[in-house]
Structure 1
C-alpha cells in the first residue's frame, strides 16, 4: 500500500547533472485485490523529491494515504503499516538507472531502486513513462508491483475479507529540470 516511485527526466539517454524538482500536482495510489472482485484503493497527493545529483529520493508520508473510509484508514495506518513507528515510504533510485526524453520526446523503461517500507529495505523494479514537453517540464507515470510479505506488513483482513499480499502502486507527477 505504499508507494512506487516514478522516474523521468531531461537528457537524451541518462539523467544529466542538473537537478529535478516537482512541479504541480502529484498522485500516489495503491490497489489491492481480494475475493469476489473486491478492490481496495488508497491515494495521496503528498510526495516529495530530493535530487542530490547521483540519486533521486522519493518520499511518501504514509499517514496521508486515504481509502475513502475512515475506519479502514485507521486500521491500515495503525494495524498494518504501523505509521507511528514507520511514518514514511522511501524510494531511492540512481540517476544512472533512468532513461530520459529529450524535448518533445517520450521514453519508457524500467529502473531498479531501493524501497524502504515498514522498516524493511528491498530492491524493486518499476516501469515508467516520461513525456517531455517543449519546455523543461516532464510528465511521469510509473507502476511497481510488490508484496506486503516482502516488507513484513501483515496481510490486511477484516470481517473475513482478506486482501491479497500483492499490491500495485501507481505514481504520477511532473518535474522540471534546473
Structure 2
C-alpha cells in the first residue's frame, strides 16, 4: 500500500509535468509559488484578462486589469478547489485587480508603480514592465512582472502534507495596448493631453 510520503512524491512529479504544459499555454496571467522545504514549483494560469480605463498621457500608460480568480488553474483540480475555496475565498472575493499608473512606454523595461487589490485588500506593488512592438505599427506588447506577499493580503499560507507554500508569489501578466492613432506616425512624440487607447487582451 502506498504510504503518504510516496504518494506525495508521485503527486509532485505529476504536478511538475502538468504544470509544464499549463505554463506553455497561451494564458495572459501566470503565477509561480514555491514550496518549502521541498522547493516544489506550483505554476498556475488564468486565461481571461479584462481591462478598463486605459489612457495615455505624456508617453505614459495607465489602466486597470481584472482577473477572475475562479478561472485560476494549476493542473490539479483538488488543489485548485482548495486554493479557491479555503485560501482565496473566491465566492467572497471573485476577482483580483491590477492598476498601472503612469507607466513609461518605451522599448525595453520600465519601472512602474502598481496597485493590487486581492482578497479585499489593496496594496501598492513595484512592477517591471517589458515593452515591445506588436504585429502592427500601433500595437505595444506589455509583459508585467511583480511579487505578491500573501500575508499582506490577509491570505493564509497554504500547507499540505508538511509542505508549506512560500509567502512570496511571482505573478506575470501579458497584455497588448493600442497606441492612439494620433501618435502612431511619430511614437517618439509625447502627447500634450490624455487620449484613450484601446486595450486588447
Do they fold alike, i.e. is TM over 0.5? Answer: yes
TM-score (normalised: structure 2): 0.69
Cα deviation for residue 49 of structure 1 reads: 1.3
* Match of residue 13 from structure 1: none
Cα distance in 2, alignment partners of residues 81 and 49 from structure 1? 21
SS for the counterpart of 2:78 is helix
Q: What is the TM-score of this pair, normalised by structure 1?
A: 0.78
The answer for the alignment partner of 1:151 in structure 2 is 153
1:172, distance to aligned residue in structure 2 (A): 1.5
More helix by share: 2
The one-character-per-residue Cα deviations of 1:27-83 (angstroms, maximum 9, x if unpaired) are: 111110012220111101110111253741110000010000000000000000000
State the SS of the aligned residue for 1:80.
Answer: helix
Cα pair 1:114 1:123 within 8 Å, conserved: yes
Structure index of larger Rg = 2
Which structure 1 residue ranges, 4+ long, deviate > 4 Å from structure 2?
A: none
In the alignment, which residue of structure 2 is the partner of 1:77? 84
In the alignment, which residue of structure 1 is the partner of 2:112? 111
Does 1:100 pair with 2:119?
Answer: no
Structure 1 position 173, deviation (Å): 2.2
Point out where structure 1 has 5 or more consecutive residues left out of the alignment. Answer: 1-24
Query: Structure 1 residues 162-171 or 25-34, which shifts more?
Result: 25-34
d(CA) in 2 for partners of 1:93 and 1:87?
20
Superposed, 1:131-142 pairs within 5 Å as: 131-133=132-134, 135-142=137-144
Matched residue, 1:29:
30
Please name the residue that 1:61 is paired with.
Answer: 68
* Count of aligned positions: 148
For residue 155 of structure 1, report the CA deviation from its aligned partner: 0.5
Whether the 8 Å contact between 1:130 and 1:140 is mirrored in structure 2 is yes
SS in 1 for 2:110: strand
Match of 1:163, SS state, is strand
Structure 2 portions without partners, runs of 5+ = 1-25, 57-61, 181-201
**Secondary structure in 1 matching 2:141:** strand
3-state secondary structure, aligned to 1:53: strand
Q: Pairwise CA RMSD of aligned residues?
A: 1.6
Structure 2 CA distance for partners of 1:137 and 1:52, relative to 1, 3 Å: closer
Q: Distance in 2 between matches of 1:74 and 1:37?
A: 22
